[in-house]
Chain A
Amino acid sequence: MGLPKFEYLAPESIAEACSLLSQYKDKAKVIAGGTDLLVNMNNRELTPQYLIGLKNIPDLDRVEYDPAQGLRIGALASHQAVAGSPVIRDKFNLLADAAGKVGTPQIRNLGTIGGNLCNAAPSADTASPLLVLGASVKLVSVRGERTIPLTQFFTGALETCLEPDELLTEIQVPKPAPHTRGVYIKHCARGSEVDITTLGVSVLVTMAEDNTFADARIALATAAPTPMRAERAETVLIGKTIEDSVIEQAAQTASEEARPRTSMRSTAEYRREMVKVLTRRAIKQALEQAG
């Protein structure tokens, strides 16, 4: 059957892409890596009249870091580029790990970190690491630009606050505080990590000199309609002594905070239990990394 008919447009700048989006709005879709879009077009779930290709726009896939601005990842950076980036592996290791676990090598070479976030699956592997890292996204249109925290980006299952004429151009990640370590655990029901994540947990902890949690962030994937921060669980840790009973309480709280559902891959009950197990495990692994 093949793809449905569409007209292909190839803007050469962000401004041109935004202008086209403003002109065609809901009749157009942007195409980044195409690994979600083309699948949806093949099964006729989406039939845009226009595809706005982003690959000719220079520098949209750049990965840049400086200590003042932090990390800036262009929306078109492939998951493989994120996974292999020396600066991301060094300073934002959980993000590199997560990007390296998206799908298969072939999909990681095509699929982009920006496109994946805009697809807004609750199971998105890079979402929970970016949430605990305090990432923001830059959204651009002919009307201007806005930068919003990723915590505000996901508004529902497969939904974001992106307007029809807006383009996500960049993901910004601040430099983590000293003595901060993070872990992402991707749990797949059948043990094969090429699958869509059954339950994901990201943890970022900052250790204080007096053996307390100076800061702690926990985020969950496939535990709610959107990737989510487990903020009540975080407050269980912050300022408290690093010890098993505190960690256990945080894991339990995260489990209660989660809003999992039963789906093809797993049940709500199993997911809720695994939030507890994996939050506990991730906190301990993060602490081991620091020590």
Chain B
Amino acid sequence: MKKSVELKVNGESYELAIDPRRTLLEVLRDGLGLTGTKKGCGAGDCGACTVIMDGKPVVSCLVLAVEAQGKDIMTIEGLATDGQLHPLQAAFVEHGATQCGFCTPGMILSAKALLDANPKPTEEEIVQGISGNLCRCTGYVKIVEAITAASQKL
């Protein structure tokens, strides 16, 4: 039986009737059309589905949408403001930290959550901060460089 749920995503409120077995990932993509959040492994291991929930990075494939009621959710779509890229997004472009782009939304959100909590992280702290986001393309070096550069601008 569907439950009535209010989801707060990127500052907007959405009233939805949700089947309890739908994950937050499914509802973001299929219910709200916010396809920036990607499905990778579906088991919480790869981090492609990372969103920021109440300030903390979580894997949305393991969050029941009905349990996201009342939480502040940020997806990759919520990062740019007034058409301007967030410094993290700009840094990823500048430093070549994106190849296929599939890990990028989750990676950037993990980085954002890291920098919000720790504005000037060491390289080790950056590596720890993105340890839940797998990238098959880049080998991570340019991702770490981009996050370091963004942290210097923020």
**Residues of A participating in the B interface, judged by any CB pair closer than 8 Å:** 2-8, 31, 33-35, 38-39, 42, 51, 53, 55, 80, 103-107, 109-110, 193-194
Across-interface contacts of A193 in B (CB, < 8 A): 131
**CB atoms of B132 and A106 under 8 A apart:** yes
B64–A31 touching, CB < 8 Å = yes
**B113-147: which residues lie under 8 A (CB-CB) from chain A?**
113, 128-129, 131-132
Task: Contact check, A55 vs B1: say whether CB atoms are below 8 A apart.
Answer: no
Q: Which of B26, B43, B62 has the most CB of A within 10 A?
A: B62
For residue B64, which residues in chain A have a CB less than 8 angstroms away from its CB? Answer: 8, 31, 34, 38, 51, 53
Residues of A within 8 A of B26 (CB): 2
Interface residues of B in 33-75 (CB under 8 A from A): 42-45, 47, 50, 53, 56-59, 62-64, 66-67
Q: Which residue of chain A has its CB nearest to the CB of B64?
A: A34
A106/B20 contact (C-beta < 8 A), A2-B26, A8-B3, A34-B64 known = no
- The main secondary structure of chain B at its interface with chain A is mixed
Interface size class of B (residues with CB under 8 A): 20 to 34
Are the CB atoms of B59 and A7 closer together than 8 Å?
A: no
Q: Are A35 and B44 in contact (CB under 8 A)?
A: yes
**What would 19 more interface pairs be, CB under 8 Å, given A33-B62, A42-B42, A105-B110?**
A5-B21, A8-B3, A34-B64, A34-B67, A38-B44, A51-B64, A53-B64, A53-B67, A104-B45, A105-B129, A105-B131, A106-B47, A106-B110, A107-B44, A107-B59, A109-B53, A109-B56, A109-B58, A193-B131
Known: A8-B3, A35-B62. A106 touches B44 (CB 8 A): yes
Docked complex Cα distance between A35 and B64 (Å) = 11
Contact B47–A42 (Cβ < 8 Å):
no
B22 beta carbon closer than 8 Å to chain A: yes
B151 in the interface, Cβ–Cβ < 8 Å?
Answer: no
Q: Measured between alpha carbons, how far is A12 from B122 in the docked complex, in Å?
A: 42
Shortest Cβ distance from residue A123 to the other chain B in the assembled complex, whole angstroms: 15
Contact assessment for A110 and B21 in the assembled complex, using a CB-CB cutoff below 8 Å: no
Q: Which single member of B1, B20, B42, B53 contacts A51 (CB below 8 Å)?
A: B20
A39 contact set on B, CB distance < 8 A: 43-44, 62
Selected contact of A38 from candidates B58, B62, B66, B128, CB within 8 Å:
B62
Task: Output the least CB separation between A14 and chain B (Å).
Answer: 18
Interface flag for B98 (CB, 8 Å):
no
Closest residue on chain B to residue A1 by CB atoms: B42
A34 to B63, Cβ gap below 8 A? yes
Chain B proximity of A195: nearest CB distance (Å): 10
When C-beta atoms are compared, the residue in chain A nearest to B53 turns out to be A109
**B21 touching A4 by the CB < 8 A rule?**
yes
Distance between Cα atoms of A104 and B56 in the complex (Å): 12
For the complex, give the distance between the alpha carbons of A113 and B59 in Å. 18
> Closest CB-CB distance, A239 to chain B, in whole Å?
40
Query: Which one of A35, A39, A104 has the highest number of Cβ atoms from chain B below 10 Å of its Cβ?
Result: A104
Most chain A Cβ neighbours within 10 Å, of B56, B67, B131: B67
Verify if B104 is at the interface (C-beta below 8 Å from A).
Answer: no
